[in-house]
Chains A and B, each alone.
Chain A
Amino acid sequence: MTDLKTTPLDAWHRRLGARMVPFAGYAMPVQYDFTGPLADRCRGGVLAEHLHCRSQAALFDVSHMGQAMLTGAGVAEALERLVPGDIMGLKPGRQRYTLLTNEAGGIIDDLMVANLGDERLFLVVNASRKDIDFAHIPGIIPIENQALLALQGPAAAGIIGVPLSFMGVAETHIAGIPCTISRSGYTGEDGFEISVEADRAEALADWLLGHEAVVPAGLGARDSLRLEAGLCLYGHDLDETTTPVEAGLTWVIGKRRKMSWDFPGGAIVRDQLDNGAPRLRVGIKPTGRAPAREGTAIEGAGIVTSGGFSPSLNAPIAMGYVSRDLAEDGTALTLMVRGKPMPATVVPMPFVPHRYVR
């Protein structure tokens, strides 16, 4: 794993029994083989880490993601030239999910934008799209030497103890360590994302692990959790050829933005909203127990873009794109899994209900 970048928690992961894999140019933990007291909390592995997050709390290192600031008068207005979201209407202390779109209405990246007040916007973008995004957004200031941790699960709020509602954001201290914290995540659970100085990341991670309910969890569980929550993974469920309408993300378009459609690809997105998109992202429930993985063909309909096994439902789940006439809930599909036809059904998402605290 030479040439891979490391996160500020690299040594910490290895000490705790992580299996490290390359992901978006970083050495990242995919799962853990716990020993000692952590093994008493959780046996480790994707299934156990996933279920621990749903029942208690899991700590993810997501420091590979891109963090950046936009500052100065008029930053919200400037960012609105690149995204369909209402950024000018985003109040201080609030965060919003939005999309960078291209002239064809395709998605360059999906990202979080937080208003920290005083004309400061804090952005979190996908690791794999950092370079592209930062070149695309004028005046952006990438934040180096900052870790990003996510504490997710029903026990998270009691540990963090910062009074925020879902998508609230604050610059505060946890365990005496300064950090920027938002009540958000990528698991469908209540939880927090915590941006902290790289030098203090281990101290914060250790403090969080000091709570009986918490175990670290790797990218494997992060992926199965977000799939159960019906959340998109860039490069898989979203790319520069998928539009917000096709992806089922029209809710990100601000009400005011729907008057003017003045974001990149706005006319195309508007047309798809009025007249229908050629294909739509849907939830897919295969029958039987064999997972239908990414790339599985859906006969005469489309393709699976994310698929795997749901630990919560103890059954395979998937999402993918199908032609519009086959996107209705309950529609029967045929997946070609390893050359064999497998019946499946279009189902609503999320597969597991979100438990956000609004």
Chain B
Amino acid sequence: MAKKPADKRYTKDHEWVVLDGDIATVGITDHAQEQLGDVVHVELPELDREVAANEACAVVESVKAASDIFAPLAGTVVEINETIVEDPAIVNGDPEGEGWFFKLELDDPDAFEELMDADTYEEYLETL
């Protein structure tokens, strides 16, 4: 079942996911970067790494603290965004665009549907 690339989903860990075919692009939400403060360092997963859903696979370090980034769904890392490693400020400047973290080839693209849509994520933010 093909999904529109614009169809964006969210996790409770404040990651966003965009699906194109069976490739999911993952990053952190604007809310997340806002809470983290200035991002100063990013560690990304190795290419070809197989990750389980909710497995910690990247780290974002802000001036305040280190935070794990979790794989929103199970899959294999097929691309990483080296640009944010070189210039971590991009994560603050364009978290849901140029500041993406990695791309996963999903084991089960249908699992994407189980993630929160934009409205549900908004509601979730209000409960925090």
**Which residues of chain B have C-beta atoms less than 8 A from A178's C-beta?**
none
Contact B64 A46 (CB under 8 A): yes
**Is A31 part of the contact surface with B, judged by Cβ < 8 Å?**
yes
**Which residues of chain A have C-beta atoms less than 8 A from B66's C-beta?**
290-291, 293, 338
Complex CA distance for A291 and B67, rounded to whole angstroms: 12
Complex CA distance for A290 and B60, rounded to whole angstroms: 9
**Which residues of chain A have C-beta atoms less than 8 A from B20's C-beta?**
none
Q: In whole Å, how far is B45's beta carbon from the nearest beta carbon of chain A?
A: 14
Contact of B37 among A31, A289, A290, A291 (CB under 8 A): A31
A contacts with B: majority SS: mixed
Contact B59 A220 (CB under 8 A): no
Contact B61 A220 (CB under 8 A): no
The bracket for how many chain A residues form the interface is 10 to 19
Complex CA distance for A47 and B38, rounded to whole angstroms: 7
With contact pairs A291-B66, A293-B65, A309-B63 given, residues A45 and B41 touching in the complex (Cβ less than 8 Å): no
Interface residues of A in 289-315 (CB under 8 A from B): 289-291, 293, 308-309, 311
**Which residues of chain B have C-beta atoms less than 8 A from A220's C-beta?**
37, 63-64
Complex CA distance for A95 and B76, rounded to whole angstroms: 62
| Beta-carbon nearest neighbor of B86 in chain A | A289
Contact B43 A290 (CB under 8 A): yes
Contact B37 A309 (CB under 8 A): no
**Which residues of chain A have C-beta atoms less than 8 A from B92's C-beta?**
45
Q: In whole Å, how far is A74's beta carbon from the nearest beta carbon of chain B?
A: 46
**Is A152 part of the contact surface with B, judged by Cβ < 8 Å?**
no
| Beta-carbon nearest neighbor of A221 in chain B | B63
Contact of A45 among B37, B43, B59, B61 (CB under 8 A): B37
Complex CA distance for A338 and B58, rounded to whole angstroms: 12
Complex CA distance for A224 and B66, rounded to whole angstroms: 16
Q: In whole Å, how far is A178's beta carbon from the nearest beta carbon of chain B?
A: 37
Contact A45 B38 (CB under 8 A): yes
Contact B64 A289 (CB under 8 A): no
Complex CA distance for A48 and B89, rounded to whole angstroms: 12
Contact B40 A291 (CB under 8 A): yes
Interface centre among B43, B61, B63, B65 (most CB of A within 10 A): B63
**Which residues of chain B have C-beta atoms less than 8 A from A316's C-beta?**
41
Interface residues of B in 59-80 (CB under 8 A from A): 59, 61, 63-66
**Which residues of chain A have C-beta atoms less than 8 A from B59's C-beta?**
290, 338
**Which residues of chain A have C-beta atoms less than 8 A from B38's C-beta?**
45-48
Q: In whole Å, how far is A10's beta carbon from the nearest beta carbon of chain B?
A: 21
B residues bordering A, Cβ < 8 Å? 37-38, 40-41, 43, 59, 61, 63-66, 92
Known A-B contacts: A289-B41, A291-B40. Give 15 more (CB < 8 A).
A31-B37, A45-B63, A45-B92, A46-B38, A47-B38, A47-B63, A48-B38, A220-B63, A290-B41, A290-B59, A290-B61, A293-B65, A309-B41, A309-B63, A338-B59
Q: What are 24 A-B residue pairs whose CB atoms fall within 8 Å in the complex?
A: A45-B37, A45-B38, A46-B37, A46-B38, A46-B64, A47-B38, A47-B40, A47-B63, A48-B38, A220-B37, A220-B64, A289-B41, A289-B61, A290-B59, A290-B66, A291-B40, A291-B41, A291-B66, A293-B65, A308-B63, A309-B61, A316-B41, A338-B59, A338-B66
| Closest 5 pairs (CB-CB, A-B) | A46-B63, A309-B40, A47-B38, A289-B41, A45-B38
